[in-house]
Amino acid sequence: MTAPPFSPFDRPNSYIGRSVPRPNARRLLAGRGQFTDDVQFARLTHVAFLRSPHAHARIRGLDLNAAKAAPGVIVIATGADLARLCRPWVGTLTHFAGLKSPPQYPLAIDRVVWRGEPVVAAVAATRALAEDALELVVVDWEELPAVADMETALDPATSVIHPEFGDNKAFSLHLESGAVDQAFAAAHQVIEAEWHFGRHTAVSLEPRTMVAQFDPSEQRLTVFQSTQTPYQMQDVYARHLGLSDAQVRVVAKDVGGSFGMKLHVYGDEMATAALSMMLGRPVKFVADRLESFVSDIHARDHRVKARVAVTADGEITAFAVDDLTGIGPFSAYPRTSAVEGNQVIRLIGGPYRHRHYRADLKVVFQNKNIMSQYRAVGHPIACAVTEAMVDLAAASVGLDPVELRRRNMLTDDMYPYTSPTGFVFERLSHHQCLDRLVGHMDYESLRAEQERLRRHGVFRGIGIAAYIEITNPGPAFYGVGGARISAQDGCILKLEPSGQVRCLVSVTEQGQGTETAMAQVAASVLGIPLDAVRVVTGDTEVTPHGGATWASRGAGIGGETVLRAARALRDNILALAGTILQAHADTLDIRDGLIVDADGGRERMALAELARIAFFRPDTLPPDFQPEMTVARHHVPRGQPFAFTNGIQAAHVEVEIETGFIKLLKHWVVDDCGRVINPQLVDEQIRGGVVQGIGAALFEECIYGADGQMQNGTLADYLVPMAGEMPDIVVDHVSTPTVYSELGAKGVGEAGTAASAAAVLNAVNDALRPLGARVTTIPLTPDRVLAALGKLDA
HEC profile of 33-52: CCCCCHHHHCCCEEEEEEEC
CA gyration radius, the chain = 28
Q: How confident is the model at residue 27 (pLDDT cuts 50, 70, 90)?
A: very low
Phi-psi region at 744: left, alpha or beta (left = phi > 0; alpha = psi -120 to 50): left
- Residue 479: the pLDDT is 87
| Assigned domain for 196 exists | no
pLDDT at 429 over 60: yes
pLDDT at 40 over 90: no
Same domain? 728 vs 646: yes
- Residue 738: the pLDDT is 94
- Residue 439: the pLDDT is 98
| Assigned domain for 696 exists | yes
pLDDT digits (tens, 9 = 90+) for 394-407: 999 999 999 999 99
pLDDT digits (tens, 9 = 90+) for 165-174: 999 999 999 9
Which residue intervals of 582-649 are DSSP H helices?
Answer: 607-616
Cis peptide before 145 (omega within 30 of 0): no
- Based on DSSP, count helices (H) and strands (E) in the chain, helices before strands: 20, 31
- C-alpha 60/C-alpha 782 separation (Å) is 44
Same domain? 600 vs 523: yes
Q: Determine what percent of the chain is predicted with pLDDT higher than 70.
A: 94
CATH number, residue 600? 3.30.365.10
Q: How many CB atoms lie within 10 A of CB 186?
A: 12
Same domain? 515 vs 591: yes
User: What is the SS3 string spanning 534-590?
Assistant: EEECCECCCCCCCCCCCCCCHHHHHHHHHHHHHHHHHHHHHHHHHHHHCCCHHHEEE
| Assigned domain for 3 exists | no
Q: How confident is the model at residue 748 (pLDDT cuts 50, 70, 90)?
A: very high
Q: Which residues contact 61 (CB under 8 A, 6 or more apart)?
A: 139, 140
pLDDT digits (tens, 9 = 90+) for 200-217: 999 999 999 999 999 999
- C-alpha 467/C-alpha 750 separation (Å) is 11
Same domain? 96 vs 231: yes
pLDDT at 17 over 50: no
More confident residue, 580 or 637: 580
What would the mean pLDDT of 4-31 be, rounded to a whole number?
36
- Residue 4: the pLDDT is 54
Whether 363 contacts 337, CB under 8 Å: yes
- Residue 306: the pLDDT is 98
- What's the total number of domains in the chain? 3
- C-alpha 228/C-alpha 239 separation (Å) is 19
Q: Which residues contact 457 (CB under 8 A, 6 or more apart)?
A: none
pTM to 2 decimal places: 0.93
Output helix, strand, coil percentages for the chain, rounded to the nearest 5. Answer: 30, 25, 45
SS3 state of residue 147: coil
Q: How confident is the model at residue 793 (pLDDT cuts 50, 70, 90)?
A: low
- C-alpha 190/C-alpha 718 separation (Å) is 38
Relative orientation angle of helices 607-616 and 560-581, to the nearest 10 degrees: 80
- Residue 18: the pLDDT is 28
| Assigned domain for 14 exists | no
Compute the residue count for the chain: 794
Whether 554 contacts 488, CB under 8 Å: no
| Assigned domain for 677 exists | yes
DSSP-assigned letter for residue 157: T
Domain final residue, candidates 610, 635, 660: 635
pLDDT digits (tens, 9 = 90+) for 588-635: 999 999 999 999 999 999 999 999 999 999 999 999 999 999 999 999
Max CA separation in the chain (angstroms): 89
| Assigned domain for 150 exists | no
pLDDT at 12 over 50: no
pLDDT digits (tens, 9 = 90+) for 69-117: 999 999 999 999 999 999 999 999 999 999 999 999 999 999 999 999 9
Comparing 25-39, 331-345, 470-484, 621-635, which segment has the lowest mean pLDDT? 25-39
Whether 646 contacts 351, CB under 8 Å: yes
- Residue 11: the pLDDT is 36
Measured CA to CA in angstroms, residue 317 lies from 349, 395, 758 at distances of 10, 16, 21
Question: Angle at CA 502, nearest 5°, toward 616 and 237?
Answer: 120
- Residue 381: the pLDDT is 98
Q: Which residues contact 370 (CB under 8 A, 6 or more apart)?
A: 114, 264, 297, 298, 327, 328, 329, 330, 331, 332, 337
Residue type, 400: D
Same domain? 703 vs 766: yes
Same domain? 459 vs 577: no
Q: Determine what percent of the chain is predicted with pLDDT higher than 90.
A: 92
pLDDT at 238 over 60: yes
Q: How many CB atoms lie within 10 A of CB 352?
A: 23
- Residue 477: the pLDDT is 83
Among 556, 483, 476, 482, smallest CA distance to 231 is for 483
Same domain? 569 vs 628: yes
Domain final residue, candidates 244, 260, 295: 295
| Assigned domain for 699 exists | yes
Measured CA to CA in angstroms, residue 297 lies from 199, 267, 336, 638 at distances of 10, 12, 12, 31
Phi-psi region at 198: left, alpha or beta (left = phi > 0; alpha = psi -120 to 50): beta
What would the mean pLDDT of 319-341 be, rounded to a whole number?
98
- C-alpha 131/C-alpha 320 separation (Å) is 51
Q: How many CB atoms lie within 10 A of CB 313?
A: 9
pLDDT digits (tens, 9 = 90+) for 267-314: 999 999 999 999 999 999 999 999 999 999 999 999 999 999 999 999
pLDDT at 5 over 90: no
Same domain? 471 vs 522: no
Cα dihedral value 181, 182, 186, 190, nearest 10: -20
Measured CA to CA in angstroms, residue 476 lies from 95, 572, 636, 646 at distances of 9, 35, 11, 21
- C-alpha 273/C-alpha 89 separation (Å) is 15
Mean pLDDT of the chain: 94
**CB pairs under 8 A, 24+ apart, for 430-435?**
430/351, 430/466, 430/646, 430/648, 431/406, 432/672, 432/734, 433/466, 433/646, 433/647, 433/648, 433/670, 433/671, 433/672, 433/734, 434/402, 434/405, 434/406, 434/409, 434/466, 434/648, 434/670
Whether 101 contacts 330, CB under 8 Å: yes
| Assigned domain for 230 exists | yes
Phi-psi region at 747: left, alpha or beta (left = phi > 0; alpha = psi -120 to 50): beta
Same domain? 323 vs 423: yes
pLDDT at 33 over 70: no
- Residue 453: the pLDDT is 98
Q: Which residues contact 246 (CB under 8 A, 6 or more apart)?
A: none
Residue type, 130: A
Q: How confident is the model at residue 21 (pLDDT cuts 50, 70, 90)?
A: very low
Q: Which residues contact 694 (CB under 8 A, 6 or more apart)?
A: 664, 667, 721, 726, 756, 757, 760
Domain final residue, candidates 613, 635, 657: 635
Same domain? 353 vs 409: yes
Same domain? 584 vs 629: yes
SS3 state of residue 733: strand
Q: How confident is the model at residue 20 (pLDDT cuts 50, 70, 90)?
A: very low
Same domain? 628 vs 686: no
Domain that holds residue 223: 36-144+203-295
What would the mean pLDDT of 668-697 be, rounded to a whole number?
97
pLDDT digits (tens, 9 = 90+) for 635-669: 998 878 899 999 999 999 999 999 999 999 999 99
CATH number, residue 81? 3.90.1170.50
Whether 2 contacts 79, CB under 8 Å: no
